[in-house]
Amino acid sequence: MPAEGRAPNGSSALGAAVPREAALAQEVRRGEPILEVRDLVKHFPLTEGVLFKRQVGAVKAVDGVGFDLMQGETLGIVGESGCGKSTLAKVLMNLEQATGGSVRYKGEEISRLSGTALKAVRRNIQMVFQDPYTSLNPRMTVGDIIGEPFEIHPEVAPKGDRRKAVQDLLDVVGLNPEYINRYPHQFSGGQRQRIGIARGLALKPEIIICDEPVSALDVSVQAQVINLLEQLQGEFNLSYMFIAHDLSIVRHISDRVGVMYLGKLVEIGSDLEIYDHATHPYTQALLSAVPVPDPAARESRDRIVLTGDVPSPANPPSGCRFRTRCWKAQARCAEEVPLLASPSWLRGAAFHASACHFAAEREIGHSAAEREVGQSAAEREIGHSAAEREVGHSAADREGPA
């Protein structure tokens, strides 16, 4: 069988590897927000009745979320299932209409756009979906799947150049251009996700929203896909919003991290601030659940066990939504919604946005060795050798289609 992974050439119709001067310029541009989200709300109405339906409530999937995505950065969004991560992604893509709030791309309010203007914005914001087994049409060849965006935006690749453009995209993501006439069922999970990434790159976007792109893949294949995403970001100066529930993967790829709980952002900061200086109780509980490879450290670590179930997003608690499971909860937490802001009483790396009335650091108990390298066991699985970095693939990547 043909090999799965091929080292990308570093040059194609999409562009060449970024030289040092351009890379330095990109670092300067990172201070510019490319996407601005303010008080974003998405509620799904709950109705009753058959003939005469009436609204009796709403599922508050996303409720007042705000952040900036900078040019060339990766913003990780973490949280448990049902917290609103995927709904947030769909609203940003305008696949779901926002109930309220603002999403601005380069200063333009996306919700107010229509027709040609909205089409142009959508070209620049693409998505990589979670499940490579269901996000690719089994009746279409790889060439048709990757080339389909060119039908909507013919200005990107004229008809006569599309086959070559698709082959270049396959090469960029490390697949053999000769696979252009194959069907999705002839590829492994990792290869299918590479095809999904190639489709996302087709229109030369500036932002790619990755909705749990590796959660359906084996750990070794996750490493290959993460490494590929990092390589492509360096080549094309992409901005990522990377959604996941695995904190180790998010730390490996992200510049900043936002933590969601029940439709709200409860903490946001750099990877150092979140992973080593978390101040919100929910973030601390998540971090305490990350596996630790050292048996001695595992025994001595401060394990935080949350009691109770996650409340319903249709009927969230008053005040702080985490208060029903929080060991710090006091009367104020039920009466007053905490703002996502940097508490004035904190200093250093702990001084970052945290939606808690009693935000404070708590030593979770990671080993010194872990803090030094900034990786947990799962992260080290994602880490790659110098040889892998050079070619962009591990031995497992060369196994070939399933």
For 143-277, list the strands marked E by DSSP.
207-211, 239-244, 256-261, 264-270
In tens, the pLDDT along 185-218 reads 999 999 999 999 999 999 999 999 999 999 888 8
pLDDT tier, 22 (very low <50, low <70, confident <90, very high otherwise)? very low
| Prediction pTM value | 0.81
Candidates 20, 1, 2, 19; CA nearest to 10 is 19
User: Is residue 5 over pLDDT 60?
Assistant: no
β-strands 353-354, 264-270 pairing: antiparallel
CATH code: domain 11-44+58-254 is 3.40.50.300
| pLDDT value at residue 365 | 56
User: Is residue 227 over pLDDT 70?
Assistant: yes
3-state SS class at 105: strand
| pLDDT value at residue 293 | 76
- 269, 352 Cβ separation under 8 angstroms: yes
| pLDDT value at residue 381 | 44
3-state SS class at 176: coil
3-state SS class at 349: helix
In tens, the pLDDT along 244-271 reads 988 989 999 999 999 999 999 999 999 9
User: Is residue 354 over pLDDT 70?
Assistant: yes
- 281, 322 Cβ separation under 8 angstroms: yes
Candidates 17, 80, 123; CA nearest to 286 is 80
| pLDDT value at residue 279 | 96
Alpha-carbon distances of 76 from 31, 147, 207, 247, 388, rounded to whole Å: 17, 29, 13, 9, 24
Q: What is the mean pLDDT of residues 49-66?
A: 90
Q: How many helices (H) and strands (E) does the chain have?
A: 15, 13
User: Radius of gyration of the chain from Cα atoms?
Assistant: 22
Half-sphere exposure at residue 253, Cβ-oriented, CA atoms within 13 angstroms: 35
| pLDDT value at residue 30 | 52
What does the alpha-carbon distance between residue 213 and residue 272 come to, in Å, rounded to a whole number? 23
pLDDT tier, 62 (very low <50, low <70, confident <90, very high otherwise)? very high
pLDDT tier, 384 (very low <50, low <70, confident <90, very high otherwise)? very low
| pLDDT value at residue 289 | 86
314 phi-psi bin (left φ>0, alpha ψ -120 to 50, beta other): alpha
Half-sphere exposure at residue 72, Cβ-oriented, CA atoms within 13 angstroms: 16
In tens, the pLDDT along 287-305 reads 998 887 777 777 777 788 8
| Per-domain boundaries in the chain | 11-44+58-254, 261-289+305-363
